[in-house]
Amino acid sequence: MRHWLIAAAAAAVIAAPLSAHADPIVMKFSHVVAEKTPKGQAALKFKELAEKYLPGKVKIEVYPNSQLFGDAKEMEALALGDVQFIATSMSKFGKYTKKLEVFDLPFMFKDMDAVERFENSKTGQELLHSMENRNYLGLAYWHNGLAQMSANKPLLMPSDAKGLKFRIQQSDIIAASYETLGANVQKLAFSEVYQALQVGTVNAQENTWSNIFSKKFYEVQSDFTESNDRVIDYMVLVNAKWWKGLPDDIRAGLSKAMKEATAENNVIAGKLNDEARAKIEASGKVKIHKLTAEQHKAWVDSMRPVWEKFKGQIGEDIVKAAVASNGPPTN
Ligand code: SIN
């Protein structure tokens, strides 16, 4: 018996290096949009690359469509370690820092190239750390795109918004942008928008073409205005303590995957929005209005007072850096 036990123990020791492989670390990535959107695709690309660079070491589980956590819970879940990656619209961070509200200022960025320049600038890169005192670290910016307004009537001049009930994200700046036009606002979670538009709790909204298409808002709104009134981009966030506590090789592999997924996202986001816009138009269900130069100027001028109200709390230097990303004035 004794000989048998010794032989079994020896066999186990010899076999151990062959069979002892640790289970991969499971990391959850939660987000609120559909898979066929810039964020949905980027999260899947990040998973693919992370698992390629860290084979057998990490497993990334991606949960789209608020399946795991919706707007109200994802920040808390990250703090508690119930999720490891989120990519949240920067309009939802007002509770944690005022600095990122620079992205919400109406008509701040003339196009997505300007957004890209700002995000890559020294100020933009510093802003990735703007919530570190709350233990949230930004790893990257992911593009979504510029917001387009809609209602059940044409929105051609700012006065057309008067009296409407706009669904907005959790942002005091977006609220002020519409309230200044005499509209009412409701801050609703993204997952609630379609139904709220359908039953009439709200009757207007703003979002990117890919969000509008993938969540079918065009089925419950008749008129879209190509307003490009604000950027809706994302910051990919991790729990700072968790991230810094990861083994070096894991953090390096995840960083490499994040960098490459980000580069790809920022190339395909524009294309996905263009495709979504074309499909909405082809549905024949809605009218898409382009603003004339005069109409566009009227919207810019009427929302502009919001800048004065909020630039102090954002930080004048941050606002200046964002303005500079547009390049020299053209007129
Ligand atoms: C998102 O793109 O993550 C959602 C934005 C919104 O709440 O409108």
**Whether pLDDT at 296 is above 80:** yes
Q: Distance, CA 194 to ligand 1 centroid (Å)?
A: 12
pTM of the shown model: 0.92
148-231+278-322 shares the fold of 19-100+108-144+232-272: yes
**Whether pLDDT at 319 is above 60:** yes
Provide the total of helices (H) and of strands (E) in the chain, helices listed first: 13, 11
Q: Distance, CA 49 to ligand 1 centroid (Å)?
A: 25
Average pLDDT over residues 82-86: 98
Identify the pLDDT of residue 306: 98
Identify the pLDDT of residue 331: 54
* Residue ID of nearest Cα to ligand 1 atom 6: 190
Q: Distance, CA 218 to ligand 1 centroid (Å)?
A: 16
**Whether pLDDT at 208 is above 70:** yes
Band (pLDDT 50/70/90 cuts) for residue 330 is low
**Whether pLDDT at 185 is above 90:** yes
In the sheet that holds 136-146, the strands lie side by side as 58-63, 25-30, 85-89, 231-239, 136-146
Identify the pLDDT of residue 14: 38
| Domain extent listing, the chain | 19-100+108-144+232-272, 148-231+278-322
* Residue ID of nearest Cα to ligand 1 atom 3: 89
Query: For the domain bounded by 19-100+108-144+232-272, which CATH number is listed?
Result: 3.40.190.170
Query: For the domain bounded by 148-231+278-322, which CATH number is listed?
Result: 3.40.190.170
**Whether pLDDT at 271 is above 70:** yes
Q: What share of the chain in percent tops pLDDT 90?
A: 92
Identify the pLDDT of residue 101: 98
Please state, rounded to an integer, the average pLDDT across all residues of the chain.
Answer: 94
Residues with CB under 6 A from ligand 1: 32-33, 89, 144, 169, 190, 207, 211, 232
Summarised one tens digit per residue, pLDDT across range 131-153 is 999 999 999 999 999 999 999 99
Summarised one tens digit per residue, pLDDT across range 218-246 is 999 999 999 999 999 999 999 999 999 99
Identify the pLDDT of residue 17: 44
Summarised one tens digit per residue, pLDDT across range 31-81 is 999 999 999 999 999 999 999 999 999 999 999 999 999 999 999 999 999
Own/partner long-range contacts of 58-62 (Cβ < 8 Å, ≥24 apart): 58/24, 58/25, 58/26, 58/27, 58/250, 58/253, 58/254, 59/24, 59/25, 59/26, 59/27, 60/27, 60/28, 60/29, 60/85, 61/26, 61/27, 61/28, 61/29, 62/29, 62/31
Q: Distance, CA 311 to ligand 1 centroid (Å)?
A: 23
Band (pLDDT 50/70/90 cuts) for residue 22 is confident
